[in-house]
Amino acid sequence: MARYIPFAISALALAAAVVAFASGEHEGLLPAAAELYPQRYELPVLEELISIYEGALEEGGNDPEILPRLAQFWYERAMLVPKEEKKACFERARDYALKALRADPGFAAREREEGLVAAIKASDDKAALLWYAASQGQLLGMINPLSALRLMKPVRAAYERVAELEETFWGCSALHALGAFEANLATNPFARLFFGGSLEKARGYFERAVSLCPDYLVNYVEYAANYAVSTKDVELFRSLIEKALHGPIGDWPFWNRIAKMDAEALIEEHPELWGEDGSP
């Protein structure tokens, strides 16, 4: 399974692990990275991009795109490497994202005075917020679910802030992440007791994501994995998976390929929702 955690971890960590992004994927790239960027679904190309950006960082580059891009690239590297290498990639991604956020003096001051959640709620750095939430969510999925539950607040706050700033940012990722939160809270009795959670609200987030960002195929896969599977909605599951499988790669060469692989993995995991003979 290419995305690694989303269909295998605990319900709450799964919600936090959702990742992707929307508008402006190709904007703000370093000149040396522009031609490589669309081919980064190949691991050697992605590693070259990491080398370019880490080199620029070592040279004292102060471009505000460098740290969030490094967070993105390290997260994406985790999608392509063996299981034993993934945790280190997520840690690098989280650390670069936090470094980007804390480079803002206002964020750093607010975090010292009021805490991380308050600083997140006031930040305008969409990319750093989203990669922080995605990578930290993956890492929380690797620990005890009850411990992870207590540490989810900054992750959820980051997704909520991104959605507040720009719903369509990087493929409506914040919207489908919030949908995953709601769905998994609603279907986990312990979590629902303390934190609530609504399947109706979850579906609203997912529907908005696929409506606003129909070309971002991850939205369909996350909707299927986090809602259609939980509700055993065969018709919805098949419809969403077909859209992911047959949708064009388009402007998302990395993540739409990941979405197609994850769609295939969901079919294997849930043949009862797809068709016992492997076809809808």
Q: What is the pLDDT of residues 134-184, one digit of tens each?
A: 999 999 888 877 777 778 899 999 999 999 999 999 999 999 999 998 898
Q: What is the pLDDT of residues 58-93, one digit of tens each?
A: 987 666 789 999 999 999 999 999 999 999 999 999
Say yes or no to pLDDT of 192 above 70. no
| Helices marked H in the chain | 11-17, 43-58, 66-80, 83-102, 105-114, 116-122, 126-140, 145-150, 153-165, 169-186, 189-195, 199-212, 218-223, 229-231, 234-246, 255-269, 271-274
The pLDDT of residue 128 is 97
Radius of gyration for the chain, computed over Cα atoms and rounded to the nearest angstrom: 18
**pTM for the predicted model, two decimal places:** 0.88
The pLDDT of residue 141 is 84
The pLDDT of residue 275 is 78
Q: Is 253 helix (H, G, I), strand (E, B) or coil?
A: coil
pLDDT-derived band at 194 (thresholds 50, 70, 90) equals low
Q: What is the pLDDT of residues 13-63, one digit of tens each?
A: 444 444 443 345 667 899 999 999 999 999 999 999 999 999 999 987 666
The pLDDT of residue 8 is 32
Say yes or no to pLDDT of 6 above 50. no
> Average pLDDT of the chain?
87
Compare 8 and 112 and report the one with higher pLDDT.
112
**What are the structural domains of the chain?**
11-274 (1.25.40.920)
The pLDDT > 90 percentage for the chain reads 72
Contact present, 195 and 202 (Cβ < 8 Å): no
